[in-house]
Amino acid sequence: MTESSQQNPGGPQAAQQSPSEALRDLLEAHGDGDLRCVELCPICRAADVLRATAPDDIKDQWQVVQREALLTMKAAIDRYVERLDAEPPERGPSVQDIPIE
């Protein structure tokens, strides 16, 4: 990472960088800098390209879709945890003894 990008990760040079280089600089400035998934995973790479090149209205719509998906997953997990925490129903024997004469 260059000295100017350390001082201002979103500065004028960010417009000249590829999306992955800009993301790498941003993560190095604010995080651990590990981009293995973005570089190797086609889903993460497509999301990275979409994030870098999509118009603002599409980004906003995609953010709404992501939020709804996360809320749906949260609701499913919460329901599963409720089922785990609930007391098991009283059950009779599942096998009935039938005498044979």
81 vs 36, 74, 84, 86, CA distance in Å?
A: 33, 10, 5, 9
Asked if 4 and 30 sit in the same domain, the reply is yes
Q: What is the pLDDT of residue 101?
A: 80
Angle, alpha carbons 36-37-38 (nearest 5°): 95
Q: What is the pLDDT of residue 44?
A: 77
- Specify if 97 maps to a domain: no
**Mean pLDDT for all residues in the chain:** 75
Q: What is the largest CA-CA distance in the chain?
A: 93
Instruction: Please determine, for residue 76, whether its predicted confidence score (pLDDT) is greater than 50.
Output: yes
42-53 and 19-30 are packed helices; what angle lies between their axes, rounded to 10 degrees?
100
Asked if 5 and 26 sit in the same domain, the reply is yes
Instruction: Please determine, for residue 9, whether its predicted confidence score (pLDDT) is greater than 90.
Output: no
Q: Is the pTM of this model over 0.85?
A: no
The number of folded domains in the chain is 2
Q: 35: domain range? A: 1-53
